[in-house]
Amino acid sequence: MPEPVPVELPPPGGETPPAHRPSAETLLRIENVVKHFPIKRGIFFKRQIGSVQAVEGVNLEVHRGETLGLVGETGCGKSTLARCITRLHPLTSGRVVFDGVDISRLSVRQMRPYRRRMQMIFQDPYGSLNPRRRVGSIIGDPLAIHGVAEGSERKRRVQELMETVGLNPEHYNRFPSEFSGGQRQRIGVARALALRPTLIVCDEPVSALDVSVQAQIINLLEDLQGEFGLTYVFIAHDLAVVEHVSDRVAVMYLGKVVELADTAELFGSPRHPYTAALLSASMVADPEKARASHRVVLYGDVPSPINPPTGCRFHTRCPKAQSICSAEEPPLEVKPGDPAGHFTACHFPVQRGETLVGATPEFHQAAAGFVAISPGTAAEGGG
Ligand code: SF4
């Protein structure tokens, strides 16, 4: 069989200049994306008895060259949204527009050129690599699948990638078990870079790693972004990591985006009560600041996405909830006094300088029962 002619790939990151300079140009547009997973019952004749509403009407734009952080508790739908973006999950409804092209309904064959340009890095560096295959062939897989390079040319490119991510190219024939956790995540990064993508969706890429190794991988991702002009969607539940890497941050709760803003703006003046509670619960390195900080306790579990609360989905746990909150869903909009680009979905956003007071368990029991709550009940609560 004749050896395929090596294909010259465009520079990594497409048109973006090789520096981390987010532009105003939209690379990815997520329009009203909905993802429901059907729940079926029955042995022979399965019938749908409900659905898990994992993602519900999400609208987001990702600019070329930026890092958009996605945060929220486990089960809020951020990983499902990541898989919808990369078409690993088909959408229930809505659109994903990548570089001006609606990719949400493309066939597998039509999707191939776009697969090359959008890649994923997964959370688990142990589980995402086949232990029976050598590292060289794992990293070279995308090159083989897309017919980009064969034989010695593929080996050369793989070894170049290994060098780029800080692995020894001489370890080409080793198995994943011969690498540490951080090195395995570097293998995942090299595999994602193989086709020189424009967009990389990083799904909790450092959550499974030790703190010191986390820093190495984050530095590597930042260096690669600067070198290749990559665009990242960065999913994590560690707020310190998200604050460090992101240009903008979107906060998700129960399948919806509840706040979106520039990183400094969101961390400095969170307007949604859920964001304020999340930030108050995160670790503060400075002991002085930690002593002065105020922690907001959220009682109750995250409600089931099978039967989410009416109105604002956060109303069963929100210390600022009032009766309208269980009846009317607040739109995601720029609130008066906020800078352009700071969107909040809340009827009673946290005011700048306001200290959000946690509510009592009794308050939350009332809220969970959709009982009308008079203004001020929450503020009286301890917490
Ligand atoms: Fe809380 Fe109401 Fe705002 Fe929802 S809309 S976050 S329940 S104050």
pLDDT tens digit string along 3-43?
444 444 444 444 444 456 677 789 999 999 999 998 888 77
Choose the final residue of a domain: 246, 278, 310: 246
349 C-alpha to ligand 1 centroid (Å): 7
Q: What is the pLDDT of residues 288-307, one digit of tens each?
A: 655 556 667 677 778 889 99
Query: Are 227 and 289 members of one domain?
Result: no
Q: How far is Cα 149 from Cα 320, in angstroms, rounded to an integer?
A: 58
Residues 192, 193, 199, 205, CA torsion sign: positive
Kindly state whether residue 255 falls inside one of the protein's structural domains: no
Kindly state whether residue 140 falls inside one of the protein's structural domains: yes
Q: Give Rg (Cα) of the chain.
A: 23
Query: Are 116 and 154 members of one domain?
Result: yes
Query: Are 204 and 109 members of one domain?
Result: yes
Residue 279's pLDDT band (cuts 50, 70, 90): confident
From residue 323, give the alpha-carbon distance in Å to each of 132, 190, 271, 275, 363.
57, 51, 19, 21, 12
Estimate the crossing angle of helix 181-193 against helix 151-164, to 10 degrees: 130
Own/partner contacts of 374-381, CB < 8 Å, gap of 24 or more, are 374/322, 374/323, 375/322, 378/318, 378/319, 378/320, 378/321, 379/319, 381/319, 381/357
Q: Is the CB of 315 inside a 6 Å radius of any atom of ligand 1?
A: yes
Residue 238's pLDDT band (cuts 50, 70, 90): confident
Query: Are 85 and 166 members of one domain?
Result: yes
Please answer whether residues 36 and 252 qualify as being in contact, where contact means their C-beta atoms are separated by less than 8 angstroms: no
Choose the final residue of a domain: 189, 214, 246: 246
Query: Are 360 and 322 members of one domain?
Result: yes
Q: Which residues contact 215 (CB under 8 A, 6 or more apart)?
A: none
- CA-wise closest residue to 158 among 147, 145, 142, 146: 142
Query: Are 173 and 211 members of one domain?
Result: yes
For the CA of 272, the closest atom of ligand 1 is: 6
Kindly state whether residue 11 falls inside one of the protein's structural domains: no
Query: Are 284 and 219 members of one domain?
Result: no
pLDDT at position 128 is 78
State the average pLDDT for the chain.
Answer: 83
Kindly state whether residue 253 falls inside one of the protein's structural domains: no
For the CA of 347, the closest atom of ligand 1 is: 5
pLDDT at position 360 is 53
Query: Are 68 and 193 members of one domain?
Result: yes
CATH code of the domain covering residue 222: 3.40.50.300
Query: Are 63 and 156 members of one domain?
Result: yes
Query: Are 213 and 319 members of one domain?
Result: no
Q: Is the CB of 378 inside a 6 Å radius of any atom of ligand 1?
A: no
Residue nearest to atom 7 of ligand 1 (CA): 315
From residue 63, give the alpha-carbon distance in Å to each of 30, 121, 176.
12, 19, 34
Q: Is the CB of 373 inside a 6 Å radius of any atom of ligand 1?
A: no
Kindly state whether residue 221 falls inside one of the protein's structural domains: yes
pLDDT above 80 (res 223): yes
Q: Is the CB of 325 inside a 6 Å radius of any atom of ligand 1?
A: yes
Choose the final residue of a domain: 214, 246, 278: 246
pLDDT at position 12 is 46
Q: What's the total number of domains in the chain?
A: 2
Kindly state whether residue 4 falls inside one of the protein's structural domains: no
Q: How far is Cα 317 from Cα 253, in angstroms, rounded to an integer?
A: 11
Least confident of 123-127, 181-185, 296-300: 296-300
Q: Is the CB of 115 inside a 6 Å radius of any atom of ligand 1?
A: no
pTM summary value = 0.83
Kindly state whether residue 19 falls inside one of the protein's structural domains: no
pLDDT at position 224 is 87
Q: What is the pLDDT of residues 364-377, one digit of tens each?
A: 555 444 433 333 33
Query: Are 114 and 160 members of one domain?
Result: yes
Q: How far is Cα 311 from Cα 251, in angstroms, rounded to an integer?
A: 18
Residue 359's pLDDT band (cuts 50, 70, 90): low
pLDDT above 90 (res 353): no
Kindly state whether residue 21 falls inside one of the protein's structural domains: no
**141 token code pair:** 């897989």
315 C-alpha to ligand 1 centroid (Å): 6
Give the domain range for residue 226: 27-246
For the CA of 330, the closest atom of ligand 1 is: 5
Amino acid at 221: L
Q: Is the CB of 346 inside a 6 Å radius of any atom of ligand 1?
A: yes
Query: Are 222 and 285 members of one domain?
Result: no
Q: What is the pLDDT of residues 54-95, one digit of tens each?
A: 999 999 999 999 999 999 988 899 999 999 999 999 999 999
Least confident of 69-78, 123-132, 233-242, 284-293: 284-293
pLDDT above 60 (res 332): yes
Residue 383's pLDDT band (cuts 50, 70, 90): very low
For the CA of 348, the closest atom of ligand 1 is: 8
